[in-house]
Amino acid sequence: MHCTHLIAADTWYVGASDRRLAKFENLFPIPRGVSYNSYLIVDEKTALLDTADASVSAQYLENTAYALNGRGLDYLIINHMEPDHAATIAEVLLRWPEVQIVCNAKTVPMLKNYFPAAAEKIDAALLVKEGDVLSLGSHELTFVMAPMVHWPEVMLTFDKTTNVLFSADAFGTFGALDGNIFADEVDFARDWLDDARRYYANIVGKYGAQVQAVLKKAAGLPIQVIAPLHGPIWRQDLAWFLGKYDLWSRWQPEDQGVVVLYGSMYGNTASAASALAGLLADRGVQKIAVHDLSVVDTSEAVAECFRASTIVLAAPTYNGGLYLPMNALLEDLKALSLQNRTFALIENGSWAPMSGKLMAERVGELKNCTLLDTRVTLRGALSPAQDADLAVLADAVVAAVKG
């Protein structure tokens, strides 16, 4: 049974969703699944924009055949070669052998690596570069190079007739599509924004400078629809979502607030983290989030660091080093180039606390980040005598939030 949607004149959504996959890239939990979006333009010439993951290949190919309605397929435009969008290329070439591949030069070696049996078809590809135009009849497509957003071969395709930007992995989000495929048909801010932020921070977050370059290019196009490769399609409130991408790609916080991220073996560090959160609330901080790093996935903690302006890290010493979930988080923050945040520390160590020193060293590796001088050191449980120390730390955090 086909499942297609008309998203603009002559332009069909032919993608599919996977609700059984547990982890995206076998790394990031996706309890709501994920969609693999693909699009078909049916004009004098027909053009398929990207394919889909092998897990949804049967549904995807049925959708594409239905939307073609007996027509042949003239062009396969490859905006991105990652296998969750390219795995079905071989099947498309078999079903529609007359199709011509359209891609940029950086895509060709990747195509040959993944599909060596299709070398002759790949050699006959139509190679495009920045600003080139492909006419389908009434639809004119132009190509926008977007290297390292987030692979080197990535490009975007803009339909100058319908003002649809086919944006590859940019502007995507985790989550399967439940019938409503447009962002304005769901409560995106309530139900999707957290997954959009987590997707950006963990998948694209390292490449903020490249995203900024794409945003500048996009500003010069009369975009009315953004059609990403994952998640809902945007046809309203584009400026709101583009604004989120602008903040994230400049590593600027969305919220002037605090996220407390802690690791705790026996509950003592957790108790201190909770006590600090209460003191912050007493001092008027409204946006406070507290997360146990042994419970939340690291990808969720990373996304919270992209959201909040001020980050409190609390962790015990472990084998003379740093508690493992905290170590994993700090490794990811460095890899993803988190910047422009204020950090505060709570360390714990019953006889030789080292976690504060180690966390401080890791924070020091982040660009344009401030580490508050005030630090609370626990030697097991937080003692009543340390209430004043925790209050001093709360005051310093509040001052940082208020700027």
Taking the CA atoms of 243, 297, 304 and 213 in sequence, report the sign of the dihedral they define: negative
pLDDT tens digits for range 125-136:
999 999 999 999
pLDDT of residue 351: 87
Tokens representing 277? 């959160």
pLDDT of residue 176: 98
pLDDT of residue 121: 96
pLDDT of residue 1: 75
Q: What are phi and psi of 119, to 5 degrees?
A: -55, -40
**∠ Cα 168 172 175 (to 5°):** 130
Distance between CA atoms of residues 32 and 144, nearest Å:
31
pLDDT of residue 381: 87
The answer to whether the CB of 75 falls within 8 A of the CB of 102 is yes
pLDDT of residue 177: 97
Cα–Cα distance list, 84 to 56, 70, 241, 341 (Å): 10, 26, 24, 33
Q: Write the DSSP symbol of residue 169.
A: T
Taking the CA atoms of 45, 51, 54 and 57 in sequence, report the sign of the dihedral they define: negative
Mean pLDDT by 10 residues, the chain (403 residues): 93 97 97 98 98 97 97 98 96 97 98 96 97 98 96 97 97 96 97 98 95 94 97 97 97 97 96 97 96 98 98 96 96 97 95 93 97 94 88 97 88
Burial classification of residue 55, based on how many CB atoms lie within 10 Å of its CB (0-12 exposed, 13-18 middle, 19 or more buried): middle
Burial classification of residue 282, based on how many CB atoms lie within 10 Å of its CB (0-12 exposed, 13-18 middle, 19 or more buried): exposed
Q: Exposure string (b/e) for 167-191, b if CB count within 10 Å is 16 or more?
A: bbbbbbbbbbbeeebbbeebebeee
Tokens representing 251? 């590593």
pLDDT tens digits for range 203-234:
999 999 999 999 999 999 999 999 999 999 99
Distance between CA atoms of residues 105 and 111, nearest Å:
10
Local structure of 3: helix, strand or coil: coil
387-402 helix and 268-282 helix, angle to the nearest 10 degrees: 50
The answer to whether the CB of 261 falls within 8 A of the CB of 314 is yes
pLDDT of residue 322: 95
pLDDT of residue 403: 78
pLDDT of residue 352: 86
Burial classification of residue 286, based on how many CB atoms lie within 10 Å of its CB (0-12 exposed, 13-18 middle, 19 or more buried): exposed
